[in-house]
Amino acid sequence: MTERVLEVHHLSKTFGKNVVLRDVDFRVDTGDVTCIIGASGSGKSTLLRCINMLETPTTGAVTFHELDITSRDVNVSQYRSQVGMVFQNFNLFSNMTVLENCMVGQMKVLKKSRAEARKNAMQYLEKVGMAPYINAKPRQISGGQKQRVAIARALAMEPEVLLFDEPTSALDPQMVGEVLAVMRTLAKEGLTMIIVTHEMAFARDVSNHVVFMANGVIEEEGRPEDIFGAPQKALTKEFLSRFMQG
């Protein structure tokens, strides 16, 4: 049984005179894996950051279980603890070890006990294959490992939705593989995810909904087999043909 989790209503975002997003509208149900694709500068990342309120939308709304989180009286921190985010540049806390990175949110935000937080963190670190590295500092591990820890950190908060902002763009091909493998597992387990990515094969195989963005608007969206198999719009065709050749 699916339920509406997240809805983006007529969202626009401008930076000064620069219009980055124009009237963006889409929805996410539980268990959906939504991939947002498109050229650089098409507003994908900004859209994701608006969903997590790291950027404040200029107009429009984002509702989470019918609650408009752009409204002023909503506790944004509380909302963010239910919607995790994984960044392109990992953003692990460099003053903490791998384990502490995964525990601090649980202890400070969810107010769990140290032992409980640790147990939970270990469970997710094991899942992403980073359990042996719990004593390492972020500067001591590789990019792919950092990203897997970042995923474990987000998962440890047990979010309803997990947002990925180009999680593999800063990694070499081998590391891309290890991070995508973790994300595939999560998708199979039914975690609701919104993923901004340039990995077209991944988007085609893993997602059940693809959103193609161009110039700040949603140009085309639908099931992956439709978007990749029979794109309707000229821009989509052009974008995908370039990707599929390369």
Sign of the Cα torsion 185, 105, 175, 136 reads negative
Nearest approach, Cβ of 87 to other proteins (angstroms)?
7
Which of 52/236 has CB closer to other proteins? 52
Cross-strand pairs, 170: none
Residue 114 vs 223, nearer CB to other proteins: 114
Tell me how far, at minimum, the Cβ of 75 lies from other proteins, in Å: 9
- Catalog residues that contact other proteins under the rule CB under 8 A: 52, 54, 56, 72, 77-82, 84-85, 87, 89-95, 97, 104-105, 108-109, 114-115, 118, 131-137, 140, 150, 153-154, 157
Nearest partner of 32 among 155, 148, 185, 195, judged by Cα: 195
Q: Smallest distance from the beta carbon of 236 to other proteins, in angstroms? A: 30
Kindly tell me which of 2 and 94 has the beta carbon lying closer to other proteins. 94
Least spacing, CB of residue 97 vs other proteins, in Å: 8
Q: Name the β-bridge partners of 21.
A: 13
With respect to other proteins, which residue has the nearer C-beta, 1 or 115? 115
Question: If you count them, how many residues does the chain have?
Answer: 246
Residue number, 6 or 218, with CB nearest to other proteins: 6
C-alpha distances in Å from residue 144, one per residue of 48, 104, 176: 22, 21, 7
- Indicate the residue among 108 and 223 with the shorter CB distance to other proteins: 108
Q: How far is the CB of 18 from other proteins (least distance, A)?
A: 17
CB of 81 to other proteins, least distance (A): 3
